[in-house]
Amino acid sequence: MSVAQRNARIDVLRGVSILLVLFHHFNIAYPLKDTVPATIFATPVVQAIARNGNYGVTIFFVISGYLMTANTLRRWGRLDAIDARRFYALRAWRILPCMFLLLAMVSLLAALGGTLFQNRGFGEPPLPMWMTALASLTFWMNVLIAQHGWVNYPLGVLWSLSVEGVFYLAFPVVCLTLRRPRFIGAFCLLFIVAGPLYRLAHQGDEGGFLYAYLACFDGIAIGCCTAILVARGTHPWISTRWLQCMTILAMALLYLCWPISRSNVLGVTAMALGTALLLAGASGKTVAARSAGYSFLAFCGGLSYEIYLFHLIVLGLMRTAIPPITASSEVKLGLLAGYLICSLGVACAVARFFSRPFNRLARE
């Protein structure tokens, strides 16, 4: 999606999601239960905000499915007219350059002796670096994590790229085989039904209900179906302020009231459906930023891919320099601010000098 075509509302939604992920990962490294925010708002409130960062990834999945389908319809007019080679090329140019850069940075930091950047064994010999690199590039990092745990601190985030990558590989094949939107929608419905059933069958297994393909495909499938329905025309009531506000409120209550370990069976589906309603309400609208907060969230959303890939490098270096056990409550708040600023700075640099030039090259 070019800058001129960006939808500010979708970028705001992505911005909220990536900040939830960042806050979640920071709280794991530097627990905020003894800090000033926990004193002001109470520790359970801070923990409620921090514990469910994986729901932010669910929102990303829905947006990915929506944009993948909507952009296909915009470029080729019909799903069955998709140019598979062009689709794969565009996805590869967007995904792989940053992934290669991430792998190179992690490998270098590991070679320089950074413990957090090396593979970990969790009671068994650590996996070789080539295996985690191969799993990253061939979209089965989620399988590796399910089998061996979070095998590499900064590379673990690639589990979600594995889920999306497999769906991306299948999407043109499904479109060209099933051809009609209603058949493609029915195929997506199979994943929407299978998702909660799979998560129900894997309760107690984090690798199953959080990271497995079938545990996550329903979010992407809901995004695809939303784009198909929007292309047919949306009813005006979907965009009404009261429905959009009620949807946001329901999503916030789900996020804050139950940990994802207890709510994931139907919670992931509910969060995905809420995101779908927000996307449908935002379709065709490129509303300009109306406040500094809105602008900041849209800015973060535009950099969400780069932030997501590289933020654990920032946090890993921070944990190496200042081990969490030595950080006082005051230091943690300073680290949180520095972590957010540095993550955004690294993402800006990567986007400006690396990913965006590659993206432009792919579209020439």
pLDDT (0 to 100) of residue 1: 43
pLDDT (0 to 100) of residue 286: 54
pLDDT (0 to 100) of residue 300: 96
CA distance 104 to 299: 26
Distances (CA, A) of 217 to 164, 194, 195, 259: 8, 9, 7, 21
pLDDT (0 to 100) of residue 284: 63
Whether the predicted pLDDT of 3 surpasses 60: no
Most confident segment among 50-54, 287-291, 306-310, 357-361: 306-310
Categorize the per-residue pLDDT at 290 as very low, low, confident or very high, splitting at 50, 70 and 90: low
- 286/180: higher pLDDT: 180
pLDDT in tens, 164-189: 999 999 999 999 999 999 999 999 99
pLDDT in tens, 239-253: 888 999 999 999 999
* Residue 128 CA, distance from chain mean position: 26
Residues, the chain:
364
Categorize the per-residue pLDDT at 287 as very low, low, confident or very high, splitting at 50, 70 and 90: low
pLDDT in tens, 107-131: 999 999 999 999 998 888 999 999 9
Please give the full DSSP string across 116-128, using - where no structure is assigned.
GGS---TTSPPPP
pLDDT (0 to 100) of residue 4: 40
pLDDT cut 90: percent of the chain above it: 82
Are 225 and 185 in contact, with CB atoms under 8 Å apart?
Answer: yes
pLDDT (0 to 100) of residue 150: 94
Kindly report the average pLDDT of the chain as a whole number.
92
Long-range contacts of 39-47 (CB under 8 A, 24+ apart): 45/256
Whether the predicted pLDDT of 359 surpasses 90: no
Task: Tell me 30's DSSP state.
Answer: S
Q: What is the mean pLDDT of residues 304-323?
A: 97
pLDDT in tens, 30-71: 998 888 887 777 778 888 889 999 999 999 999 999 999 999
pLDDT in tens, 330-344: 899 999 999 999 999
Categorize the per-residue pLDDT at 291 as very low, low, confident or very high, splitting at 50, 70 and 90: confident
CA distance 211 to 157: 10
| Structure tokens, 8 | 């500010």
- 361/275: higher pLDDT: 275
